[in-house]
Structures are given as C-alpha cells and as structure tokens.
C-alpha cells in the first residue's frame, strides 16, 4: 500500500511496490512527453525542499507534479528561509505540512530525510541525504534497466566510481541484489562500497566482487553504471586529489564490451564518461534522466491518490 507512505530508503518499498511503481511509470510516459494530458493531481501541492544543489531530481519532481496538474512550492538552499534565523529542520518540515500535501527533501546530512519523516504528518520522499541513499534515483535506474532487459536476475552490473560517498550506488546495489543481479564494485580501495552495504547484500546472498580494474570487468558486463567522484563530500581535499579522475571511460575502452551493454550514469558527470560515447548505442544516461519524470509521476500519484 503506497498511499500516504514515506520513501526514505529503497528498503521502505517491497518488491511488489517497486513493480507497481515501474508499471505505473510505463503508463505515465505519454503524459511525461506531453503527448497526453492529465489532471490527476489537480489541487495537490508538492513542497520541494532542496538544501543541496540539484538539476535532475528537483526539476523532474517539479515537472512530474505539473504534468499531472498539481502545483509546486520550492526552496533551493537555506538562504531565503528561516533556517538562517535558527529554525530547525523539524519546524521547517512542520511548516511544509501547513502549506502542502507531500514533501521531497534533499539534505546534505545523512539521516535527515528519516528525521523529517518522523516529524511530518504528510509523506516525505528522500531526494538524497548526504552520502546516505537516493531511492527515487534507484527507481528510475531500475526502470531504465527493465526497459532494456527483461530479467534483472540474469544481468551482470558493474558499478564504478565513488562508491563510498555516491548515495545512488548504495540504494541501487541493495535493489539489484534483491532482484538477483550479480555485481562488480569497481573503485579505488579508499572509496569502495561501505561495509554496511556489503554486509546487507551479502546477507541476501548476492553474487558480488570488489575490484579496481574497470577494463577487466567490461567484457562480462550488461550494465555499466558510472558515477562521479563526490568532491564535496571528502573531509580531506588531499584524499580527493588521490582519486580524482580514477576512472575515465572512453570509446576505446568499449572495444570489448558486449554489443547490448548499456552505459548509465546518474549525472552530473565531470570527466568519467567521455562525450564521444554519447552518440553510441551504449549510452543511456540522457534517457535515464528523462525516465525520472514518468517514474516520479508514478510515485507521486501512487502516494497521493493510491492505485487508481
């Protein structure tokens, strides 16, 4: 039952609920493309609270709400809010509750979305909490993979880059493990996947390996999920410098890739996927970004209106 639910971590959703969201997202595609009109969420208001920079998550949530006839109130950054005067997150969330029907929150602190959900009587969706999770990114990642491949349990997915601070990789790894995919985690040792995620996926019996050899993993890979080194999350800039540019995927590196292998990236990218890859049959990252709209339309409609 998704109506009224908070979505803070991917494990807040059962497998059945994930399937329902992805199926509903498929129905939403023509509305997301403005080929069909909908007033499903007319009169509903989304409070879009982004206390960290965002292009895709904020704009796709706001587009999703508006494509369904709803409205949006937005905060970007703490500047211009009463947080600057000392107002707490709890009181900020209580105010959103006075003015809207659902909150999407991005916050630099891991755990902030769970805290907000505890204070709120309206649903809270985590739009990314520090180095924690990004569950709606995972839903659109799963949608993108499922549109390409029928059976996720037969796939080998290589997740490369900053696996320590890259929150999208945390929720995606958990979801893919639940669905039976095998995984390669490719990163320099200092920014490998955190132990708590490895423990969780080991507990599910997921077939996985840790590696620092991206080239060696490519030939067996069906989905190559590249990520940015999260410069802003390193407490020590010297440590960032040691791993900056660790993996740069270029056309030559795809020579031994499977014909149907897709390259995904949650974006923004810096230098880890060369633009020469953009026009190839492998690139899916721009389609992936678009998929954020139908997936978030599905999520908003199921949480606010239920399965109608």
Stretch that binds ligand CP, among 68-76, 114-122, 210-218, 263-271 (CB under 6 A): 263-271
In angstroms, the CA 262 to CA 264 distance is: 6
Q: Which residues contact 153 (CB under 8 A, 6 or more apart)?
A: 179, 180, 181
Q: Measured from the CB atom, is 67 or 257 closer to ligand CP?
A: 67
The helix (H) or strand (E) run that includes residue 262 is strand 262-264
> Which CB, 92 or 136, lies closer to ligand CP?
136
Q: Could you tell me the smallest distance in angstroms from the CB atom of residue 307 to ligand CP?
A: 27
Contact 129, 137 (CB under 8 A): no
Contacts of 115 (CB under 8 A, 6+ apart): 89, 90
Check binding of 74 to ligand CP (CB under 6 A). no
Instruction: Specify the stretch interacting with ligand CP by CB under 6 A; choose among 38-46, 181-189, 249-257, 264-272.
Output: 264-272
Give the Cβ contact number of residue 152 at 10 Å: 18
Q: For residues 37 and 61, what is the distance between their CA atoms, to the nearest angstrom?
A: 17
Nearer to ligand CP, 8 or 257 (CB): 8
* DSSP symbols for 144-204: HHHHH-S-GGG-EEEEES-TTT-HHHHHHHHHHHHTT-EEEEE--GGGSPPHHHHHHHHHT
Q: By C-alpha distance, which of 135, 246, 140, 131 is closest to 196?
A: 131
Residue 167: name the closest of 282, 52, 22 by CA. 52
Clarify whether 208 is annotated catalytic.
Answer: no
- Asked if residue 266 binds ligand CP (CB under 6 A), the reply is yes
Q: Output 268 or 306, the one with its CB closest to ligand CP.
A: 268
Considering the complex, what minimum distance in angstroms separates the CB of residue 107 from ligand CP? Answer: 13
In the window 100-159, what residues touch ligand CP (CB under 6 A)? 128, 134, 137
Our answer to whether residue 282 is catalytic in this structure is: no
Smallest distance from the beta carbon of 60 to ligand CP, in angstroms?
Answer: 8
The residue from 44, 57, 227, 284 that is catalytic is: 57
Verify whether residue 233 is a known catalytic residue. no
Q: How far apart are CA 130 and CA 297, in angstroms?
A: 24
Is 106 designated active site?
Answer: yes
What DSSP letter does each residue of 121-148 carry, written as one string?
SS-EEEEEETTS--HHHHHHHHHHHHHH
Using CB under 6 A as the binding rule, whether residue 297 contacts ligand CP is answered as no
Name which of 54 and 92 has its Cβ closer to ligand CP. 54
Token code pair at residue 17: 């609920």
Task: Tell me which of 24, 67, 107, 134 is the catalytic residue.
Answer: 134
Q: Could you say whether residue 288 binds ligand CP (CB under 6 A)?
A: no
> Out of 5, 20, 56, 94, which one is annotated catalytic?
56
Number of residues that bind ligand CP (CB under 6 A): 10
8 A C-beta contact, residue 35 and residue 297: no
- Nearer residue to ligand CP within complex by CB, 48 or 182: 48
Is residue 267 a contact point for ligand CP (CB under 6 A)? yes
Contacts with ligand CP in 43-62 (CB under 6 A)? 54-57
The nearest distance, CB 144 to ligand CP, in angstroms, is 12
Write down the least CB distance from residue 287 to ligand CP, Å: 13
Give the footprint of ligand CP on this chain (CB under 6 A).
Answer: 54-57, 128, 134, 137, 266-268
Catalytic residues: 56-57, 85, 106, 134
């Amino acid at each position: 039952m998704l109506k009224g639910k908070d979505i803070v971590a991917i494990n807040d959703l059962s497998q059945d609920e994930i399937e329902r969201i992805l199926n509903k997202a498929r129905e939403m595609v023509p509305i997301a493309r403005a080929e069909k009109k909908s007033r499903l969420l007319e009169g509903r208001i989304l409070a879009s609270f982004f206390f960290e920079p965002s292009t895709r998550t904020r704009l796709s949530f706001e587009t999703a709400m508006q494509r369904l006839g709803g409205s949006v109130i937005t905060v970007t950054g703490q500047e211009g809010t009463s947080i600057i005067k000392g107002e707490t997150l709890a009181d900020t969330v209580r105010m959103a509750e006075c003015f809207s029907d659902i909150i999407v929150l991005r916050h630099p602190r891991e755990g902030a979305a769970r805290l907000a959900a505890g204070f709120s009587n309206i649903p809270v969706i985590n739009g990314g909490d520090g180095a924690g999770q990004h569950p709606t990114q995972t839903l659109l990642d799963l949608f993108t993979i499922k549109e390409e491949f029928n059976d996720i349990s037969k796939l080998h997915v290589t997740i490369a880059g900053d696996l320590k601070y890259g929150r999208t990789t945390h929720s995606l790894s958990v979801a893919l493990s639940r669905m039976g995919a095998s995984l390669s985690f490719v990163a320099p040792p200092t920014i490998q996947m955190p132990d708590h995620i490895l423990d969780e996926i080991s507990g599910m019996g997921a077939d996985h390996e840790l590696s620092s050899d991206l080239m060696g993993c490519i030939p067996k890979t069906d989905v190559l999920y590249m990520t940015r080194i999260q410069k802003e999350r390193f407490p020590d800039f010297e440590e960032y410098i040691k791993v900056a540019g660790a993996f740069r995927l270029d056309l030559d590196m795809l020579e031994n890739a499977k014909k149907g292998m897709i390259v995904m990236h949650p974006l923004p990218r810096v230098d880890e996927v060369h633009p020469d890859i953009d026009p190839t049959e492998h690139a899916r990252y721009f389609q992936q970004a678009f998929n954020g709209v139908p997936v978030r339309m599905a999520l908003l409609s199921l949480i606010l209106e239920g399965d109608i």
